Amino acid sequence: MKKSRTVNFANLLIEAVSAIISNKSRTVLTLLGIVIGISSVITVIAAGAGGRSIIMKEFEGLTPTSLSININWQAWSLNRSFKLEGMTARDIEDLGKYAPHLTAIAPISQKRTLIKAGETEKQLTVTGTTEAYIEYVEFKLLSGRIMTEDEILHQEKVAVVGYAIKEEFFPDTDPVGNYITAFGLPVKIIGVLEKKEKTDTISISDPDSTFNNAFVVPISLFKRIFGGDGDYWNVMAKAVSIGDIKTAQAEASRVLARNHGKWDDRVDKFSVTSMKEQLEMINTVVTTITIGVAVLAGIALLVAAIGIMNIMLVSVKERTREIGIRKALGARQSDIRTQFLIETLILCGGGGLGGLGLAALASVIIGKLASWPVIIDPGTAAIAVLLSLITGLLSGFYPAVRAAKLVPHEALRYE
């Protein structure tokens, strides 16, 4: 009995494959819809995963105790009548005095500009900050020194550069004491940082193969060159330990509230977020965007499913006489139903694999053109193929049932 069922299924499989091959144009159209739908979903999810990996990699250089002090943009976005204020030099000083659980307090401003030395030139992100920045990113000096308070006060044209800058612009010599042109001005290199494997905190917008691309100048010089009112819009700092993160956040908020007050006497003008909070927030945003776009891409899959159902209904109508003959010769309803379901599963399963291949090709193209890693997770690929099979099952079920219920003598009379 078991053997006869196996033989019967094998026959149905052969008949299903023959039916698919016999109508090539219909097969291609059916496959095209499912390929486009599946590849769209996979590519969007993979692009989201790639974006998430970039963000996570960018933050690997930060320690768990890292804190970011910024304008409370969330509250301001809800009430644009709130007047924005930057942090001042007094705020930085007071944070150092009255927030004992806070250390390495460094105001930061960044801008891309052209760096030149001799015949070598490159677009880089310049970071304007204070001497505390080196402590914040936990760098060590290879040679030279860091900037002094006096150099910051007098807007001296000096810079501390990363190891990659030394290797590219001064490959055979210690650059300390040499000059490099930045933002059109000669800037004296006073220090070179040791090579570090992960230093993504230098600039999220300017990664390179080694990530040692720091170009750090006094923030006073930065503001003189690029303009600014003297206020700081972004300050980085660290809690003295992981256990003191909440305390450090509370101390920083208290100091800034005392110096600047609150919006409507209740809303903090500044937010103090930890690395964990930033990663969770960014991850939530990326996930939400990915899901939203994936849902839109999934509509293409829904359209493909409807198209498959229509094509299979047309197939049932065209093969009515054939179905009548088979039923007259003893084929059961279950045999007819199974054959049509096998056809749709083969079509959609093949379309799913084709969509996976197209998504892989799209990933390579996107990665090369946009320099954006598109990561196709094996689990996502498996789910996508499974989704294509489920699509086939659902879209093929009604046509299969309709074919199985055809009355033999009426089907035989069909022209």
pLDDT one-digit tens code per residue, 352-409:
888 888 888 888 887 777 666 777 777 777 877 787 788 777 777 777 777 777 666 5
The pLDDT, as a whole number, for residue 9 is: 60
The pLDDT, as a whole number, for residue 16 is: 64
Tell me: pLDDT of 21 over 60.
yes
The pLDDT, as a whole number, for residue 110 is: 87
Least confident of 58-67, 245-254, 286-295, 380-389: 58-67
> Would you place residue 57 in the very low, low, confident or very high pLDDT band (cuts 50, 70, 90)?
low
Q: What is the mean pLDDT of residues 118-123?
A: 87
Tell me: pLDDT of 340 over 80.
no
> Would you place residue 179 in the very low, low, confident or very high pLDDT band (cuts 50, 70, 90)?
very high
Q: Which amino acid is at 236?
A: M
Tell me: pLDDT of 111 over 60.
yes
The pLDDT, as a whole number, for residue 210 is: 43
Q: What is the mean pLDDT of residues 265-281?
A: 84
> Would you place residue 258 in the very low, low, confident or very high pLDDT band (cuts 50, 70, 90)?
very high
Least confident of 12-26, 309-323, 325-339, 369-383: 12-26
> Would you place residue 204 in the very low, low, confident or very high pLDDT band (cuts 50, 70, 90)?
very low
Angstrom distance (rounded) from CA 66 to CA 21? 62
At what angle are helices 89-98 and 245-260 packed, to 10 degrees?
Answer: 140
Percentage with pLDDT > 70 across the chain: 83
| Position with higher pLDDT, 211 vs 189 | 189
Angstrom distance (rounded) from CA 375 to CA 359? 10
The pLDDT, as a whole number, for residue 374 is: 72
| Position with higher pLDDT, 1 vs 21 | 21
Show the DSSP H helices in 234-332 as ranges. Answer: 245-260, 275-318, 320-328
The pLDDT, as a whole number, for residue 208 is: 45
Digit-coded pLDDT (tens) for 64-98? 788 989 999 888 988 888 898 889 889 999 999 99
Taking CA 135 as the corner, what is the angle to CA 134 and CA 138, rounded to the nearest 5 degrees?
Answer: 85
- What is the residue extent of each domain of the chain? 2-57+281-413, 73-105+239-268, 109-231
Which is nearest to 305 in space by CA: 37, 103, 22, 41? 37
> Would you place residue 36 in the very low, low, confident or very high pLDDT band (cuts 50, 70, 90)?
confident
Which is nearest to 241 in space by CA: 101, 381, 68? 101
Digit-coded pLDDT (tens) for 138-153? 788 899 999 998 999 8
The pLDDT, as a whole number, for residue 201 is: 43
The pLDDT, as a whole number, for residue 69 is: 92
Tell me: pLDDT of 415 over 60.
no
